Amino acid sequence: MSPNTPSSSHLSLSRRSLLRTGAAAAAASLLPMRGLLAQTPLVIGAIYVGPRDDFGWNQSHAAAMNILRGVPGVTVVEEENVAETNAVTQTMESMINLEGANLILATSFGYYSPFVVDLAAKYPNVQFRHCAPLWNPETDPVNAGSYFSYLNQAHYVNGGCGGAVQSDGPSGHCCGETRADGAVECELIPSGRTVS
């Protein structure tokens, strides 16, 4: 067997495949179980601040939406290049009133306040999820919420990889830090030595 021949003991996973799988898992975790069991179809409205094929944030969401299209009883409507202005309000209302969306995924940081908050109050029978940890259960509507990945693990891996590729050894280490809001972030702690 040549070194370039894959064997059953090697797992080959492309970056794109990993992003697609991760996005699908994240999107699937957003689906309320009652929505999967309900008689009412689930209509997801996904809104992107940029193009769907940006090779990053928007594309990972769009890949998840493509997978969700294959779930029986799920319809996905999408809008790309929606500015963080009143344009997002118009898009969300159009998805709700014209397409019957009952779950809105607002994927950009600037969509939340006041746009998602105001429409969640106006449409209490529609679920709104925003892709940033901004939702406050004490002040925001109960049909609004957040979804967000735990970036500290990825930051930790990035820091370890960065240190590992230094030709003269690592220049520091990553450590987790708990913020005042309970979230954990990773921070690079320099070792004090100069890396040229």
Classify domain 15-146 at the CATH superfamily level. Answer: Response regulator (3.40.50.2300)
DSSP assignment of 14-68 equals -HHHHHHHHHHHHHHHHS-HHHHHSSSPEEEEEE-SS-TTSSSHHHHHHHHHHHH
pLDDT digits (tens, 9 = 90+) for 50-85: 999 988 889 989 999 999 999 999 999 999 999 999
Q: Structure pTM? A: 0.62
Euclidean distance between CA atoms 159 and 70, whole angstroms = 37
Output the CA–CA distances (angstroms, integers) from residue 35 to 41, 50, 80, 141, 147, in the order listed: 8, 28, 25, 19, 17
Query: Over its length of 196 residues, how does the chain's per-residue pLDDT go in tens digits?
Result: 444 444 444 445 566 666 666 666 666 655 555 444 546 789 999 999 999 998 888 998 999 999 999 999 999 999 999 999 999 999 999 999 999 999 999 999 889 999 999 999 999 999 999 888 788 889 999 999 888 765 656 666 666 666 666 666 555 555 555 565 655 555 555 555 444 4
Domain ranges of the chain: 15-146, 151-190
Q: How many residues does the chain have?
A: 196
Q: Which residues pair with 188 in a beta bridge?
A: 174
Token pair of 31 as six digits: 């689906």
Angle made by CA atoms 81, 84, 88, in degrees to the nearest 5: 75
